[in-house]
Amino acid sequence: MKISFLLHNAYGIGGTITTTFNLAHALAERHEVEIVSVLRHREHPNFTLDPRVSLRPLVDLRQEKNHPLHLRPAGVFPRAEYRYGQYSELTDQRIAECLATIDADVVIGTRPGLNVHLALQAPEHVVRIGQEHLTLDNHPPRLRTTLRRAYRRLDALTTVTEADAAAYRRKMWLPGVRVEALPNSVPDPVLPAVDGSAKVVVAAGRLVPVKRYDLLIEAFAMVAAEHPDWQLRIYGKGEEHDRLRQLIMDLRLWNNVFLMGAAAPMEGEWVKGSIGAAASNFEPFGMTIVEAMRCGLPVVSTDCPYGPGEIIEDGVDGRLVPVGDRDALGAALLDLVRDDEGRRRMGRAALENARRFAPGPVVEQAERLFTEAVSARRAGRPVVQERARMHRALVSQGFAARDAAFASAGRALRMVRKGQR
């Protein structure tokens, strides 16, 4: 089977890129796999790509940033999508050309805007799989309205959590489209698991407001006050860097908290710690949580929608605390810092429980979905045969009407503001 992934920018850093590379590498054991990167801004990807996986960019920003078509707004990529400003008439054209001539059996979109391209433009013989790495409720109403129309032309839609899959089934009404939770996978560790002796807490991810590294630093101040020999190392880059550095200075934590910059891969950094930490307000999955657990670290995380609660078993392989609660986060970290044996016991449980996110189980599920979708498309039938349920249809229509009303109000407000300029 030939499988193609349609990715925003394979040359950047982020959870979607990481999990796409992980899944592509695992599938390449038995299939022909390629990654189509809409954008390219550097010579080589940040992450090492398996030589069995081909990489094909469509728009090279190093040469085409000022291309006349790239200066015109996109017409297919949804305006309400977060990345809309990076798309253009040129990306519309290149994506359409790519899909029209693609020879893959299965094409997988990896974000809402690309799923729309896939749904509308892929040829009939191609199986169309849309991936959602965010959540339905996180999308603005105007985007959800667009997705309701487009996603009906997909064969299947995968989410990274069961909670989000349930939300799509309840709120979107996509008859004939298989909606399934397919978690992100993390490769089997190469380095030995931690022994829990290092006096280091590790966190990783983009330095952006939603990740709440400010909350984590403030919570860690409780740890440093009682155990000044412990460190917090934060890996990543982003817009919050300078503000976080100032916070560290203000709290006089310069000997305890360190902004380490980006690291890829992270495994070599996880194994230098003994506790993982995540303080997000919102986390569709929690890739770094799984990465830490696969290295034997128990993780203290906010119990935010949707991912952490489906990954961490509170009190067994980590701790879950209320979102935004600095004191609860600090207390949970202190509990693990104080209890050497408990920390090691949770670390062993984390290592064992995170095996379900190993490439093997995830790839088996993906292959089963792809195979069934290919068979269904060749037979000219939907991937899932679903009886129309009046109650469910009415519920989804209610959500659709509400989103349409919010979208319409948003358009009216934008017109008013435009007229006032």
Cα(200)–Cα(19) distance, rounded to whole angstroms? 26
Number of other residues whose CB lies within 10 A of the CB of residue 120: 14
Give the residues across from 26 on adjacent strands: none
In degrees, to the nearest 5, what angle opens at C-alpha 49 toward C-alphas 47 and 53?
Answer: 150
Give the tokens for residue 301.
């995380």
Picking from 239, 178, 177, 185, the residue whose alpha carbon sits closest to that of residue 213 is 239
**Maximum Cα interatomic distance, the chain, rounded to a whole number of Å:** 66
CA-to-CA distance for 369 and 127, rounded, in angstroms?
Answer: 11
Structure tokens at 174: 């996509």
**Structure-token pair, residue 354:** 């995170």
Q: What element of type H or E holds 143?
A: helix 141-150
Residue 62 to residue 55: CA distance in whole angstroms: 17
Contact 141, 406 (CB under 8 A): yes
Report the predicted TM-score, pTM, of the whole model to 2 decimal places.
0.82
Burial 156-177 (b: 16+ CB within 10 A, else e): bbbbbbebbbebbbebbbbebb
Residue 394's pLDDT is: 45
Residue 127: partners with Cβ closer than 8 Å, 6 or more residues away: 105, 106, 107, 155, 156, 370, 373, 374, 377
DSSP 68: G
Task: Let me know if 190 is exposed, middle or buried by CB neighbors in 10 A (0-12, 13-18, 19+).
Answer: exposed
Q: Two tokens at 324?
A: 């935004």
| 338: enclosing H helix or E strand | helix 326-338
The pLDDT value recorded for residue 14 is: 81
Q: How far apart are alpha carbons 8 and 118 in whole angstroms?
A: 13
Q: Report how far residue 271's alpha carbon sits from residue 317's, in angstroms, rounded to the nearest whole number.
A: 16
Q: How far apart are CA 228 and CA 214, in angstroms?
A: 19
Q: How many residues does the chain have?
A: 421
CA R_g for the chain: 22
> Position of tokens 């469910």?
392
Q: Which tokens in the block code for residue 220?
A: 């860690």
Q: Is omega for the bond preceding 265 within 30 degrees of 0, making it cis?
A: yes
Helices (H) then strands (E): counts for the chain: 15, 13
* Cβ 216 vs Cβ 232: under 8 Å: yes
User: What's the pLDDT score for residue 388?
Assistant: 46
Nearest to 20 by CA among 160, 154, 192: 160
Residues in the chain with pLDDT < 70? 385-421
